[in-house]
Chain A
C-alpha cells in the first residue's frame, strides 16, 4: 500500500530541521539508474510544492566499464521553499553509489555536507577501477571524515535482504539498489513516497506488464525509507517547506519537452501541419522522440539519412506548405549550413533547432556550452542573415518555440532556435499557460496571382515586412520556380544584374532587421541606471539573475537583463546599455555575444567567460563582477 500523505506526516520524527533550500546530487555508474532516481526525487519535490531546478550530468558512453570514473552518471536537484533559478553551485547532500561516484563528485560538496555512500561497493577492486592508490579507502580518509558528514549504508546487502523471499534473480534484485538510495533520501529530506510508488506501478506493472518488478522496487523503496527511520544513523532530518509559487496548475518540464510542445502549439495556432526532419544527435534527439509520439496532432517526423538530408527535407516540406523544422546540435548545424543558406535565398519559413553542446568537433556531447552563437549568426557562405532566438529557461522553451514559427512565417526566412544542453535536459516547474491567450499565427497562402495578365511574381514583397508570398505547389496559376541562383526582385527569375544583387542582399538583411517590429523590448531587473548591467542570453539566465540579486543585496547598483532575441536585437537594447557605466557579459564561450554587442553599439563590454562544459557558478559571477567593478581585469 502506498503511504498516504497523512501517514507520511505521522511518520515524521521530532528531530527535524527546517531549511530554505537543499541541493542533492545522486551519482553512480551510468547503469545504476541515477537519472531515474534523480527524476523521481525531482517529481516528488515538485508535486510536494517546492520550486525545483535540475542538472542531469551523464557521460556520452552508454555503459562505460563499471566502476570507472568516466562512467559516472549524476543527477542534481535543487529544491527550495522559495523561488530558485539554478540547480545550485554547491551540493549539500551527495548520494554516491560507488567509489568512482564519490571520487568525481566529492569536490562539489559543501564543507559539512551530507555524503551517503553504498558501503558495499567500497571494495579494493572498485578502488582500483577508479584509480585510487592501493590500500587507500576514501571512507577511512580522516580529511574527508572531518570535512563531510559521511554515512555508510550497506545498500546492496540491505536490498538483497529486503528481497530475500521475493524469488527474484540476483540481477533483478541488484537493479533495485537505486530505489533503496532514493528511499533513504526521501526519509532524510522528509518527502512522501506516493508519487514514486505510482510511477513504478505505472511504468512496470501497467506499461510493461511486469507487476513483480514493480512490487520489488516498491518494497526496496520502502525498505530504504524505513532504514532511515529505524537505523538511528542520521541525527537530524531536514524539511524544506513548499514554495509560494504563483497560483496555477503546474507540471515538471525539461527544455526539450517544452520545445516540442511549443512547436506543436505553434502549428495548431497557425492551422498548419508540422514536419520535423531530423538526424539523431545529443542533446537534441529528445525533441525528435517527443514529436514522433505526436502523430495524433498530424505531426510528421522524418529520421533522415544524415543532417543535410534532414534540413533539405524540411525545406522541401516548407516549400509544399508545412510548418517545417529540423533539429540538431553544433556539429550538425555545421553540416546544414549550405542548405540554410538556400532557405535564406528561397525565402521560405524554416525553424532550425540548435541545442548547443561543448565543442569544437565531437567535443563533449553531453556537456553544455554557448559557443554556437557566431556559427548560427554567420556560419554560412556570403551574406545570409537569419533570425536567432534563444530561450533562457526550460519552461521558456515553449514560448520561444512558438516565437520561432511566428517570426519564420511573418518574415519568410529561417529562424534558428538556439537552446543548450543545460536547459534542454534541465527541468523546472512549469505553470501551464493559458493556451487560448496565445495569439494565432497568421499564415497566408495566396490563391490568386499578384500580377493579373502576367506571370505570378514570387518575389513581390509585402511593403511592411518585405516578406514574399508563400505560394505552394498545387495552386493553379501560381506556378513558379525557386532556386539557389540570385533572383531578380519581383519576378524571381535568375539574375546576374549587379544592382539587383546589391539590392537583394540589402533587402534580405532589412527583412530580418524588420522582425524587431514585433520583438518585445528588453526588460531590466534591478536599477534602471547604475554601476553595471549584467547582460546574458540562453541558459545562463538563472545564474546571472541570482548573481545580480546577490550583488544588489550587497548594495551594488547592478542590474541584469537577458536577451531572448539575438538577431535582430530588441529595439531598446542600445538605450539599455547606455544606462550603465559598465556592461558585463557572462557567457559559456570566449565572448561571442560580447563581440556582437561591441560591434553593434561600440560599447566596451567586459566578459565573464568559462568553458567547463557546465553552467556558470553564481559565486564566480558575483566575485568576477565585483572585481570588474573595482577596475580589475580578469
Chain B
C-alpha cells in the first residue's frame, strides 16, 4: 500500500468524461451526485474503488464514475463483485443496479452475496418498473399494476427488498430516497465502512414510466407523515408535528399518537443490532404504516467472506508451508524407470 498522502478529492474528480445519458429528471442523477459527494469525503484513493452493475438504466452507473468499473450482464453483478473481492479484498466494491436486475433475474446472486457476507456495498435503485425495456412491471411493482406487459393489471405479489435482505442474513440493511442526497450520503458512508455486505434500497423515481410512485414518501408535504427516520438508540417518532410514534403491541408494531396517556417513553427505541426488529420494520408499508428510512439493521460482528478465504489460505501456508510444485507432482506413489 502506498504511503503517499491522499489527494484532496472533489465530487467532480469522480465524474468520468462520458456524458450522462439518463432521461432528464431521472432519480438516478441524484444517486450519482450522492455517490460522487460521498467518495470525495471518504479517506480512500480513487483507484481502489470498483463500481459494478448488471443491466438496466441504473446499470449504466459505472460508465459515469471516474473509477474502475464493470458494466456486466443482467442480474450477475453480485457474482462479479464476489470475484473481484476474492482476487483483491483491499478494493472497495460497489454494486449499483435496479430492482429488476438485483431482485428478478439476479435474485439468486443477491441472496448469496448477502448470506456469504462478502464485503461489497449494494445500492438497489428501486423504481418499481422496467425502464430500459420501456415500461414492463418489475418484481417490486404493486399488485394489479397496469403496464405494457400487464394491460389489465399485474397478478404478481411484489417482493419486499429489505425483508429479503434481512431474511438472507444481510448484516447491513438501510433505505434512502433519491432526492434526499444528504441522507443518501450518510447511508453510503456507513455502508462503505461496514465490514461485510451492505444493502441500501433507494426509492428512485422513473419520471418516464412510473412517475410519482414514491411521491408519498419523497415529497415535502407527505414525507413526514408517511416515513420514519430510524436512529439507533432513539425512540421511534415521526410525523410533520413529531406527534406520532411506533410501539410494540404483542408481537406487532402499532402506530400511536403522542399526547394523552402515551408519552415518548412508551415508544419503541430503535436497536439496529436486533435482526428481528429489523425484519418487523422492513414489513411496514404505506398507507397503514410509515415506511422506515435509515439503517434498519446492522451487525458488524460477522466475519466477511473474502477475508475468511484469504485467512484460510494464510493459515494453511503457516501450518504446511508454501506449496512447491516439484513436491506436488511427486506426491503419491511414484516409481522410477532407468
Q: Which residues of A contact B (CB under 8 A)?
A: 43, 46-47, 49, 195, 245-252, 261, 264-265, 268, 273, 275, 277, 294-300, 302, 304-306, 308-310, 312-322, 324, 338-339, 342, 346, 432-433, 435, 455, 472-485, 493-494
Contacts and interface: CB of A to CB of B under 8 A. Distances in A.
B79 A313 contact: yes
A252 B329 CA distance: 11
B83 A277 contact: yes
Given A261-B328, A319-B70, A484-B72, A313 B83 contact: yes
Contact of B313 (A298, A339, A479): A298
B73 to A, nearest CB: 5
A295 B73 contact: no
Contact of B73 (A252, A317, A342): A342
B149 interface: no
Contact of A250 (B18, B316, B336): B336
A481 B63 contact: yes
Given A248-B336, A275-B87, A320-B87, A484 B47 contact: no
Contacts of A346: 70
A435 B325 contact: yes
B76 A294 contact: no
23 contacts: A47-B335, A249-B334, A249-B336, A264-B325, A312-B72, A312-B80, A313-B82, A315-B72, A317-B84, A318-B87, A319-B70, A319-B83, A321-B87, A324-B83, A339-B73, A342-B73, A473-B88, A474-B47, A474-B68, A480-B68, A482-B69, A484-B72, A485-B71
Nearest to A491: B17
Nearest to B74: A338
Given A322-B86, A455-B17, A474-B48, A46 B335 contact: yes
Contacts of A275: 83, 86-87
A315 B80 contact: yes
A484 B55 CA distance: 9
Given A316-B52, A479-B67, 19 more contacts: A47-B333, A246-B337, A249-B334, A261-B328, A277-B83, A295-B312, A295-B313, A297-B328, A302-B82, A309-B112, A318-B87, A320-B50, A324-B83, A435-B325, A474-B48, A474-B91, A476-B45, A480-B68, A481-B71
A295 B316 contact: yes
Nearest to A482: B70
Nearest to B313: A295
Contacts of B84: 316-317, 319-320, 473
Contacts of B166: none
Most chain A CB inside 10 Å of its own CB: which residue of B16, B80, B111, B317: B80
Interface in B303-338: 309-310, 312-313, 316-317, 320-323, 325-326, 328-338
Contacts of B62: 481, 483
B317 A296 contact: yes
Nearest to A477: B47
B126 interface: no
Nearest to B92: A473
A12 B253 CA distance: 86
A247 B310 CA distance: 41
Contacts of B321: 296
Contacts of B313: 295, 298-300
B81 interface: yes
Interface residues of B, number: 64
Contacts of B76: 308-309, 312, 339
A476 B9 CA distance: 14
Contacts of B70: 316, 319, 346, 481-483
A473 B330 contact: no
Interface string B101-113: 0000000110110
Contacts of B111: 305
Interface of B: 2, 16-18, 45-50, 52, 55, 62-63, 65-73, 76, 78-88, 90-91, 108-109, 111-112, 309-310, 312-313, 316-317, 320-323, 325-326, 328-338
A252 B312 CA distance: 30
Contacts of A474: 47-48, 68, 88, 90-91
A294 B63 contact: no
A1 B78 CA distance: 57
A489 B112 CA distance: 36
Nearest to A430: B329
Most chain B CB inside 10 Å of its own CB: which residue of A277, A294, A479, A485: A479
B97 to A, nearest CB: 13
A294 B16 contact: no
B112 A320 contact: no
A389 B91 CA distance: 33
A250 B335 contact: yes
B82 A295 contact: no
Nearest to B55: A484
B337 A250 contact: yes
A338 B75 CA distance: 12
B69 A481 contact: yes
Most chain B CB inside 10 Å of its own CB: which residue of A49, A308, A493: A308
Contact of A316 (B2, B79, B334, B336): B79
Contacts of B331: 251
Given A265-B325, A295-B312, A316-B81, A473 B68 contact: yes
Most chain A CB inside 10 Å of its own CB: which residue of B47, B49, B62, B91: B47
B108 A306 contact: yes
Given A273-B87, A296-B323, A317-B87, A304 B333 contact: no
A339 B325 CA distance: 32
Contacts of A308: 76, 79
Nearest to A293: B316
A247 B338 contact: yes
A265 B330 CA distance: 13
B338 A338 contact: no
B275 to A, nearest CB: 22
Contacts of A483: 62-63, 69-72
A313 B86 contact: yes
A249 B335 contact: yes
B337 A248 contact: yes
A487 to B, nearest CB: 11
Contacts of B338: 247
